[in-house]
Amino acid sequence: MSTPELLLLGANNPEVAAQARAMMAAGTARIRGFLDNDASKQGRDFHGFTVLGGTADLGRLGSAQVVNVITRDTRTRHSTTLELLRAGARLGQFIHPEVLVDDVELGAGSYLQRAAILQAGVRLGSNVSVSAGAFINHETWLGDSVFVAPGANLCGLVRVGTGVFIGASAVILPRLQLGAWSTIGAGAVVTRDVPAGAIVVGNPARVIGYLELPEETLDDS
């Protein structure tokens, strides 16, 4: 099997460039360069990689697969991936070579950082990002465009809806459901199911508000 060639959307975090170098050294990917829709970054060096253009330039950049490495918030991550798909992109995989994915079902466009732990029976939707030091324990399922921040712990058999944001060091107790587009605050301890669109914080986590649910799915691209 040939080594995939990747373009990475989002020239912001130097850790992304470090992971790109680690993947090239391990022979798991060839990194062609970055994309960024900020015109001031295009044509410039980003930690040893060239910013080749933006989403609109995909047509001239050939057949490389693309991974969205934007992690600002799940709505931005979701909308920019929709742009990629509508521009004809094929989503690749950006997985640190130290991360084990045996017995894990990966959706397209996975971005898994160093020291993320994914146990057997985990299933990821498309466009999912799991940060360094996060634990996704056995048989947990994540929907499309989910973001899991550093140190979060999903304790097993958790069901996570589309677009959920799980903050740093949050703990989700086993067998719970997180509704689509909910937001779990940093350090929250979730002890009961979370409704769609809810913002929850604290220990035990409580609902402090709701956000509007986006209507477009990745299948709409």
Distance CA 30, CA 64 (A): 9
DSSP character for 134? Answer: -
Residue 60 CB burial class (10 angstroms; 0-12, 13-18, ≥19): exposed
What are the phi and psi torsion angles at 103 (to 5°)?
60, 25
**Residue of 47, 78, 96, 138 with catalytic role:** 138
Q: Identify whether 96 is a catalytic site residue.
A: no
Beta strands 141-142 and 123-124 are: parallel
DSSP character for 2? Answer: P
CB-based contacts of 53: which residues, under 8 Å, 6+ apart?
35, 42, 60, 61
**Annotated active-site positions, please?**
138
